[in-house]
Structure formats: structure tokens, C-alpha cells
Structure 1
Amino acid sequence: MRTLISRKLLSSIRTRTVSLLTLVGVCASAAIVAACGGGGGGGTLNYPTLSVVQPVVDCSKLASVDITDIGGAGSKINSATVTNATINGATVAFCTVKGTLAPSNTFEVALPVSTWTQRFAELGCGGLCGNLSDPTQQSSFSFTYQCPLVQKGGFVTAATDMGHTGSDQTWSSDPQKQADFAYRGQHITTLTAKKLIKAYYGQQQKYAYFIGCSDGGREALMAAQRYPTDYNGIVAGAPAAHFQIQNSLYHGWSVKSQSTTGTSAGNAILYADKATLLHKAVAAACGGGSGAADGLLADPRTCHFDPATIQCANNATDTSSCLTAAEVTTAKAIYSGPTDATTGEYMLAGSPQYGSEANWVGVEVPTTNSTGAPVPVTKLFSYSIVTGAYNLIFTGSPTMPTIDTFGYTDASFYPTYLKANHPFIDATSPDLSAFQAAGGKLILWHGWADQHISPLFTIQYYEAMQKTMGNSNVDQFARLYLVPGVAHCGGGEGFPNIDLVTSVTNWVEQAKIPNSVMTYQTDASNNVTASRPVYPYPAVAKYTGSGDWHDGANYTQGSPLYSAASRTWAGSSFYTTYTPTRRGVAAP
């Protein structure tokens, strides 16, 4: 049975421009049917009717709520005022509470004044955080296709800078601030938000959720592993769960394989124009796996493209439409990743996948073209990612390595440099039995064309969960979605707009097990131009062969295109169960 949104899309998609607001409808009240995407076991997606609860005290009274029991001495609320947010032309009033949880976790909680439907959502923070998102804004939910239940004030939402600001360069060597970033900041902000909810509305929330992507995805998994009762439902996008590996070997290899000298002293080899050229060749060779002429790789693991097929002829004077030998070598190195020089063992679970090349621009490759001035690899974003995380990763290591001395071809790098801090900052423990026992639901998702974090790491984590807990157990509480052509946490040539808030909410509150989830492409005016369902991994969307292939109604669930288990690699042991460790002052 098609969902309500699919029927609307089917009647409107022929114009190839559908109003986003028309598609998602207006569901400011919990009693209104939510036709805002997502997916389930069939039928329309209706939220349970939860009555709107009004405050029992004036917003200003929240300024006196004591939060030292949560954050410790020095924790305080700085302000509690009513503010208005304009979303899609509608005005929603919030009691906005701002404060600090000791020593320096800045937080903000937005409590709807007249539209609260007894739900709470904590919002993840990407990168190394250090900034405070406005929890009243749509952009705070940009990693999941915005559902009006969120937009129109149905949720209390909260955000934190996780204990430091972007301008503070000393935080990453401070044990307490390391802990606040690793696991504590989001947890104590959640406890604070729940205390404010009780004080403001006179009752607790009925359901609590966490929504995050990138490091926000790591924070999401950290919550499931360390604090299994904090949330009823979690959406973890492109999780940097393997934080240490990601911010050392993974991005460091991009720098090394790009360098003319093989070190940080060299210039980049592959530039934006050549990455784009490479991408077009890959799409032509491997795209269309769904059966539609879309150029998207339905599962990049089935692609065996050789960059040498577009290598320039010897002594070619015009290399604008081909790759030089050095560029071919670099492309191959980025795809394959490093290997141990003695055993030949892979050093990483995966690298950027075929189909992601256009997204390398600005991360693995410069934004300029090969016809411009040479760009030092120290100017690459990959370089700044690695150097910004040194202290977090290598605190307590026997020596402080550099991007040139990580040991890209020596598997002893893992026990020597990463083992000590692994249970502190990584979030790869696959035993989520406590989260499952508490009734929690987890949705993992990742774009196949992610330029920052390989989706193969997320697949590896999901497989580790299955191996540890059993497939049938994992099926009861977790789902993984891989989205073709989508870059890191959105963007790319695929269908990056996806409402997983609806999916997790319906799963938690109505036991509607997610299956197909509709994804969308939109134009510059936010009009929907095409749609495509995604299915739980490892299934793929398959075009039926009839009707407009831009219309998601013309797809069905297809069999997996790839069935082999993830490869073994030097850090595989990091995806086995471990006991998390703490640092700094005692924390909840």
C-alpha cells in the first residue's frame, strides 16, 4: 500500500515541481495526521494522539531551577525568556532557557509555550563541536528531512557546545573538557532538559529522542552504549563512531596519497576538475544499478572501475579530458586505502567509495582546478581535520605522532597509539542489549557517496551488532539505511532529503517497524523534483520499469546487489564489545 505522501507525489510529480509544504502538510498539533515522509509497515503514517500540554509556571520561573545536582558546582541557568521562531511562515513561541553546566558546557533548551506534544529531542553536534546550535531552527534538524511535528513546536529540543568554544585552543588537552566532548556534555544537557520539562509543564516527557549526524552520529551511538535509558529512539547518521581512526589514519591517508612528496610537505596531485572527470567516468561505468538511468551507484561495492582506463596517452600535451599517471595513482590510493607492509592487511574498514569523487572537492582535493597554482596539502580540509584532533586522540600515547608518522603501513599503530583511548572516545561497542532491553529503537543511515566517513565503517558496525547480539535481536530494534549518491550528512547527486524522525517516532510510539523510507531531491526553491524509496540494508530500491523513474511510487524492494561480509582489517577488534572508560570529574 502506498503512503499518503506517495499518492500526493504520484499526482503531482508529473509537473516535476511539487511544493514541499504541500507534500508534508501541516501537523503542528499532535492530533493531525503526519504526512511528512518517513516510512513504515504500510498505510498512512499517523502519530499517536498525544494531547498538547500547557505550562504550569511562567517561563521566567525556570531561571531559578537548580541544576548543580546535574552539572556540579558552578552550573547555572543564565536566562529563561519567551522567544518566537518563524518556520515556513508560521510563528512558534518557545520558552528559551540558556545556561552552563560546569565547567563550561553551554546549553540551550527550547520549550514550546503552547504546542508541546510531550516529546523531547536532543540534537547532536558535528565535527569537534565547539558551537551552540539554535534548537528552535529547522537547520538544527537538517540531517533528517524536516517533519512539521518538529518544526511547528511539537518537541522540546536541546543543544550543547559539548564543553568548549571554537576559539578555545586548549580544550582538547584538558581531561574534563575531553570527557565533556567524548560523552558527558550531551548526557548532562539531556538530564537538564528533562528537569526543565518537569518544572515547566508539571510532568515528564512521554518520549525522548536523539537526532545527530557525523560526530552527532557518534554521540548518538555513545548514548545507546553508555546511557541506554536516556532516549526511546535514536537516529544516527554517518556516525564517526570510530573517532580515532577517522581523525588519524583515514583523513591522514587522503593527505599522504594526494601529496607530490608523499608527506605533508608536498602539493596536491588531484584537483577539482580531475575529480569531477573521474566521477563522470565512474558514473558512466557503474551507475544505474537501480534500473533507472540516473547515474547513481546503488551499491558501490559492485563497481570495479579502473582509473587507468581514462589515463592520458604517453606524452599527451592536453590532459584536460584524461588523468595523468600521477592522478591515476592518487585516485587508486584514495579508493584502496593503506595496507600493512608486512602482512598486506587493510588498515581501514573502508575508504571513500566509487561514486563519491565529486564530493571529494573541498575535503580530499582542493576546490581549485589543475590549471591553477599548486596547492600545498596542508591546505586540504583533511589535513585540518587530523591536526585539530591530535590531543584528543594521542593523549597518553608513548609519543605524539605527526600526520607523516602515523604508520600507514604498520598495523602496530592500533595497539600503540589508539588502544588506550579507544574505550573513552570511540563509540563502536556493538553490544546494545541494555538499550534494547529498555525498549530503545535505533536507525542508522549513511550516504553511499560520503566524502568524510566511509559507509563501510557503518556497515561494519551494523554487522558487528548482528554478530554480537544475533540477527533476530538486532532486527527487533535497529535498522540501517544506505542512500545512493548522498554525500556526508546530505547533499550530493542522490536523494538527500529523508525524514527519519517520522520513522523512529512511529516505531517507538506505535510499534510500526520501518521498511521503505521515501527520499527526495529538491531544487533551489525547496520544491521536490524527484523521489526514491530506500529500504533496510542490504536491500536496494529497484525501478519497476514502468512510469516516470523520477517518481518514487515506481520502485519496489530489490534483492541485495552485494552479499559478502565486510573485509577483515587491522582495526577490526575495535568493533568488539568493550567497557567504556571515563575521564575528569565524576559525572552522571
Structure 2
Amino acid sequence: MRTLHPVGLLARAHTRTASLLTLLVVCVSATIVAACGGNGGSGGLSPTPLAVVNPVVDCSKLASVDITDIGGAGSSITSATVTAATVNGATVNFCTVKGTLAPSNTFEVALPVGTWTQRFAELGCGGLCGNLSDPTKQSSFSFSYTCPLVQQGGFVTAATDMGHSGQDTSWASDPQKQADFAYRGQHITTLAAKKLIKAYYGQAQKYSYFIGCSDGGREALMAAQRYPTDYNGIVAGAPAAHFQIQNSLYHGWSVESNSTTGTSLGNAVLYADKAQVLHKAVVAACGGTSGAPDGLLTDPRTCHFDPATIQCANGATSTANCLTAAEVTTATRIYSGPTDATTGERMLAGSPQYGSEANWVGVEVPTTNSTDAPVPTKGLFSYNIVTGAYNLIFTGSPSMPNIDTFGYHDASFYTNFLQANHPLNDATNPDLSAFKSAGGKLILWHGWADQHISPLFTIAYYEAMQSTMGESNVNDFARLYVVPGVGHCGGGEGFPNIDLVSQVTGWVEQAKAPNSVMTYQTDSNNAVTASRPVYPYPAIAKYTGSGDWHSGSNYTQAAAVYTAKTPAWAGSSFYKPYALKSQGVAAP
């Protein structure tokens, strides 16, 4: 089998601190007089000329712009200076504006000095946010591989820390900061950025976009649901839209499953080396379903691998290439997820999928090997994200459960503990009628090998949209792409270099609905080593059987290999329309 190259451009290093700083950040753009297009990854979109607009005032003048009408008393611009950034090897100058929207939403807006093409992009943050990313950095603009707009600096971009900073998680008990993180922070930053655009260039932006992944994907969907006119186009990657579920039952189950005691007080059972043994066996059993010998699982739901098939023989003197009975149990529990003890109903819409095992390292399993010193389960990322999000999820609940007393086998846990803040933190309302009516376009995407968020939740949300709005209506404004072998917001053994910025700008600005999107693998020098198209879910890419299977030109669109809808699960009611909850200072 040819060695596949995990790609660095979109891969994200996951910070595992108590405050869970950005899992991934998203977005920075570029400057050009045309919409993103060409360069292979854009799907052949024809450029739409938009004139470059130059500033009408000096950058320093933006320091005096009043933003109290947006954030309230105490909101202010702290600096406005011209800075230089290297974008695609060239120097691009930005008027970089920093400020605070009350009470504590730190933000930064980057306005191109000589390359603005009348477009604006708000950039999502990841994890529990809490840090301010640099919107002038091209590396933080995801899903834009080879997009000319992103490569040349044509967008005004903005980012925010969502109302809190640092490693102290006490902010999560503050009702106003809860609201700022849940929905308000990105919205008021967008309003501030648009006001600065008008002041700097003497005109408003022509098009507005939101680009985000992980929690940034949740923020993207929150925008479509709460503020349907904020953005013309949205790209939502691997969305943690089911925030309440994701950061309690989902990650908590990973901790309980991979523990010698079955609680957070134990040590890990499955380690990095054995996750790789498991992954190798899964690939051998289920890989290559595209028709090419690539080892990738086109749709893991068609795989029926049993970890017990690689269990070590009784009395084995070496367990390096097999799984012990305890490791088999852990792997099986991670794949299967919890069920209600009375009804047998699944508690989750999905778990980590077959083919994602190599990516579990650092999340579901430790980064060390089984031959190294034992690692407490409290050192796992899954434990840290649960404890970090604890107050956001359970504030206001009749009692405060902990990771060991979550109702993993009791469906009433949803109504008793997760329902209260569901309409505040979650972004799973499938009724996007207002966003559609406003002309908005939405691209959802997820990697099949995601180690943090199961792609089955995103599929379940997409199906809920279809059920609520009708498939034809959804097809008018939304697309879902699920990419084989790709991890959380990038990385993995698949093809994580993908340009969805071109797709969303082309759809918004040229009315060209996306279909085939080329994805790429690159080597350590960023040279393309292989390509593969992806198609709107549930269609798949199929190798034609002739020509180089590393070339995307030798694939065609094929019908779904799995057609069943998401089975019933205990939290499915969270994916039905609901009244949104607001608190604290209302956003304008």
C-alpha cells in the first residue's frame, strides 16, 4: 500500500489545557479582483470580478470609532495600526484594529490596505475559545486550499475570544459570559467589523461569510439559526452543534470506557500503540471501498469489524500485535456508545467511527504506549473538555452531576440535566427557513475519521433539516460533504486539503451550486501527491478502474453505499425545532 501523507495545512494541534484553548481556528483570506476560482480545488468556478476598494481614511482614524451602540457602555477600540503579514509568500498590509465589546469580548479586525475585494469573513474559534487568533494569518483560514482570494488577501477578516480569556474556567459560571460564548460574541464582533468597514472604505461590504470548524462550526450554525441575515454564506466544519451532549455524555463515555475502574479514577486501558494495532486491523478488514487500494473507508457504517478478532490468544507471551481482553472491551465500548439500561435505546447519535482509531491518540487514548507508565484517565483530552464545559452545561440544573454520574444508561438524563441549557448552547435547530429566505448558503462538512466529534451527529442534523424543511428546500441552499479518512477539521490519512471557500463564494456570488469538490494530499513540502473528488452526501467517489488511482480525474460520482437514516436515539428531540434561549445583555 502506498504511504498516505497526513497534511499539515489543515491539521490542527489540539491544546489540552484546563481552558481548552483553540482546538482549531479558522480563516484568513486574501486579495484578488475575482471570486475564488480555478486552481483545481475550486471545481472550475469562473471568477466574478469585484473591484478592489481602497481606504478613504487613514487607519489611525478607526481608533476613534464609537462601538458602544454595539457592545454597550465600556466598549472601545484600543488600537488601529497598519501591520504587515506574509500571505502566500507575499507581503500584505492590513489596518489591524483591536478592541473590546463589553463586558469582555476581545476582538481583532484585519482590513486590507490595498487589496480589499468588498468581502468580509468572520472566523470561528475552537474548543471553549478563550484566546484571540490573528485574523491576518493565512494558516488560520481553513477549507481554502489554493483559493486565490485567500492566497492574496482579499477579505476583511475578524476574530474574537468569545468573551473570556486565559486558563481560568470561572467565566463559565457568569451568565453574561455564558451568553457571549453561546451566541453573542461572534454576532457583535461581526457588527463591529461591518461598522469599521464602512468607516475605513466609505462603503459596506458586498458579501459576508462565516468560516468555522469544531466549536467554530457550532458558531456557524448558531449564526444561521439566530442571526439569519448576518452572512450570505457559511461554511460549518465538524460542528460541535450538540454542545450539551458532546461535552458531557460523548466525551464522558470515552473516559469511562477507557478506564481500569470504569470511572474517572482509573488508569487508561488502551494506549497509542494498541490504537494503531486496532487501526491496522480495521483498514485490512474494511479499507479500500472506493475501489482503489488506498486503505480508506468510504463510509464506515458499512464496516462490521469486531475487535475480538484480534484478541490475543490465552497465554500469549507477546501482546504487541494483538489486543488484550480488556483492550477489546474498551475498543468495543468506544465504538458502540452507551445505551439506555431499560429500553436499549442508543444514548448518542454516533460514536468515533471505524477508521478513526489512529486519530484517537491524545483524545480517547493517551499519547504514550502500553509499555510506558500508566496514565490516569484524568489526563485524557476527553476528561479535560468535560470538566472545562461543566458549568456551561449544568448551571441551573436541579443538581450537579459529575463525569461518573452522568446518565450514560438513562435516557431521562436528557430531560433532567441537558434540556435546561440546550436552547442556549446548542445549535441543532433544523429550521433554517429564515436563513434560506434571506438567500443564505450553507456548506456543512465533516471528516469520517474525526476523533473529537462523530460525523454521525452532523449527518443526523442534516437529516433533521431535510425532515423539517423538505429535501428539495434543503438542497436549494445547503450541502453536506463527508470526507473519508480525514480527522477533526483536517489531518488524518485521507485528503484533508479542500477548498470550500471557493464553493461558498461561487454559490453566493455566481449562483453555482457546488457538486464535485476536489480534495488533496500533500507531502512535507506541500507538493500534491494525490487527489480525490468528494460529492454531496450521501454520494461517494468511485475509482473507475483504469488510470492512476492517485489522480482524482479517475474517479466518478457513485450512489450511496449506505442508505439507512440515523436510528432512533435518546437525544433525537434536541434535533427538532425549538425556541432559542437568550440571557444577559441582549445582542443588537
Q: Normalising to structure 2: TM-score of the pair?
A: 0.94
Alignment partner, residue 386 of structure 1: 386
Q: Is the 8 A contact 2:187 2:587 kept in 1?
A: no
Alignment partner, residue 311 of structure 1: 311
Alignment partner, residue 34 of structure 1: 37
| Counterpart residue identity of residue 136, structure 2 | T
| Counterpart residue identity of residue 364, structure 1 | E
1:31 Cα deviation after fit: 4.0
- Kindly report which structure 2 residues correspond to 1:426-437, keeping only aligned pairs within 5 A, or say none: 426-437=426-437
- Kindly report which structure 2 residues correspond to 1:546-557, keeping only aligned pairs within 5 A, or say none: 546-557=546-557
Alignment partner, residue 473 of structure 1: 473
Q: Is the 8 A contact 1:38 1:503 kept in 2?
A: no
1:33 Cα deviation after fit: 7.5
| Counterpart residue identity of residue 388, structure 2 | G
1:268 Cα deviation after fit: 0.6
| Counterpart residue identity of residue 109, structure 1 | V
Alignment partner, residue 483 of structure 1: 483
- Kindly report which structure 2 residues correspond to 1:523-538, keeping only aligned pairs within 5 A, or say none: 523-538=523-538
Alignment partner, residue 231 of structure 2: 231
- Alpha-carbon separation, structure 2, partners of 1:49 and 1:187: 28
- Alpha-carbon separation, structure 1, partners of 2:71 and 2:148: 32
Q: Indicate whether 1:84 and 2:84 are aligned.
A: yes
**Secondary structure of residue in 2 paired with 1:355:** coil
**Secondary structure of residue in 2 paired with 1:195:** helix
Alignment partner, residue 24 of structure 2: none
Alignment partner, residue 210 of structure 1: 210
Alignment partner, residue 13 of structure 2: none
Structure 2: 5+ residue runs without aligned partners? 10-28
1:145 Cα deviation after fit: 2.6
Q: Is the 8 A contact 1:39 1:515 kept in 2?
A: no
Q: Deviation string for 1:200-225 (max 9, x for gaps)? A: 11110000000000000000000000
1:37 Cα deviation after fit: 4.2
- Alpha-carbon separation, structure 1, partners of 2:534 and 2:471: 20
1:144 Cα deviation after fit: 4.1
Alignment partner, residue 58 of structure 1: 58
**Secondary structure of residue in 1 paired with 2:250:** helix
**Secondary structure of residue in 2 paired with 1:567:** coil
1:140 Cα deviation after fit: 1.6
Alignment partner, residue 116 of structure 2: 116
Q: Normalising to structure 1: TM-score of the pair?
A: 0.94
Q: Is the 8 A contact 1:271 1:368 kept in 2?
A: yes
- Alpha-carbon separation, structure 2, partners of 1:446 and 1:258: 25
- Alpha-carbon separation, structure 1, partners of 2:562 and 2:153: 42
Structure 1: 5+ residue runs without aligned partners? 1-15, 21-25
1:587 Cα deviation after fit: 2.0
| Counterpart residue identity of residue 34, structure 1 | G
Alignment partner, residue 334 of structure 1: 334
Alignment partner, residue 185 of structure 2: 185
Q: Is the 8 A contact 2:35 2:50 kept in 1?
A: no
**Secondary structure of residue in 1 paired with 2:330:** helix
Q: Is the 8 A contact 1:143 1:212 kept in 2?
A: no
| Counterpart residue identity of residue 268, structure 1 | A
Q: Indicate whether 1:164 and 2:164 are aligned.
A: yes
Q: CA RMSD in A?
A: 1.4
Alignment partner, residue 49 of structure 2: 49
- Alpha-carbon separation, structure 1, partners of 2:418 and 2:384: 19
Alignment partner, residue 152 of structure 2: 152
Alignment partner, residue 11 of structure 1: none
Q: Is the 8 A contact 1:480 1:536 kept in 2?
A: yes
**Secondary structure of residue in 1 paired with 2:423:** helix
Q: Indicate whether 1:199 and 2:199 are aligned.
A: yes
- Alpha-carbon separation, structure 1, partners of 2:51 and 2:241: 37
Q: Deviation string for 1:73-117 (max 9, x for gaps)? A: 000000111111012220101111000000000000000111100
- Alpha-carbon separation, structure 2, partners of 1:33 and 1:348: 38
- Alpha-carbon separation, structure 2, partners of 1:48 and 1:204: 18
- Alpha-carbon separation, structure 2, partners of 1:429 and 1:136: 32
- Kindly report which structure 2 residues correspond to 1:125-140, keeping only aligned pairs within 5 A, or say none: 125-140=125-140
Alignment partner, residue 356 of structure 1: 356
- Alpha-carbon separation, structure 2, partners of 1:282 and 1:270: 16
| Counterpart residue identity of residue 138, structure 2 | Q
Alignment partner, residue 324 of structure 1: 324
- Alpha-carbon separation, structure 2, partners of 1:266 and 1:167: 25
| Counterpart residue identity of residue 467, structure 1 | S
| Counterpart residue identity of residue 29, structure 1 | I
**Secondary structure of residue in 2 paired with 1:347:** coil
Alignment partner, residue 97 of structure 1: 97
- Alpha-carbon separation, structure 1, partners of 2:402 and 2:36: 55
Alignment partner, residue 513 of structure 2: 513
Q: Deviation string for 1:504-537 (max 9, x for gaps)? A: 0000000011000010111111111111000000
- Same amino acid, percent of matched pairs: 81
1:586 Cα deviation after fit: 2.3
1:373 Cα deviation after fit: 1.1
1:152 Cα deviation after fit: 1.5
Alignment partner, residue 409 of structure 1: 409
Alignment partner, residue 13 of structure 1: none
Q: Deviation string for 1:224-277 (max 9, x for gaps)? A: 000000000000000000001000000000000111111111111101111000
1:27 Cα deviation after fit: 8.1
**Secondary structure of residue in 2 paired with 1:541:** strand
| Counterpart residue identity of residue 333, structure 2 | A
- Alpha-carbon separation, structure 2, partners of 1:294 and 1:520: 13
Q: Is the 8 A contact 2:34 2:149 kept in 1?
A: no
| Counterpart residue identity of residue 39, structure 2 | C
- Alpha-carbon separation, structure 1, partners of 2:505 and 2:550: 27
Q: Deviation string for 1:272-310 (max 9, x for gaps)? A: 111000000000110011100000000000000011110
- Alpha-carbon separation, structure 2, partners of 1:218 and 1:259: 30
**Secondary structure of residue in 2 paired with 1:115:** coil
State the number of aligned residues: 562
- Kindly report which structure 2 residues correspond to 1:14-25, keeping only aligned pairs within 5 A, or say none: none
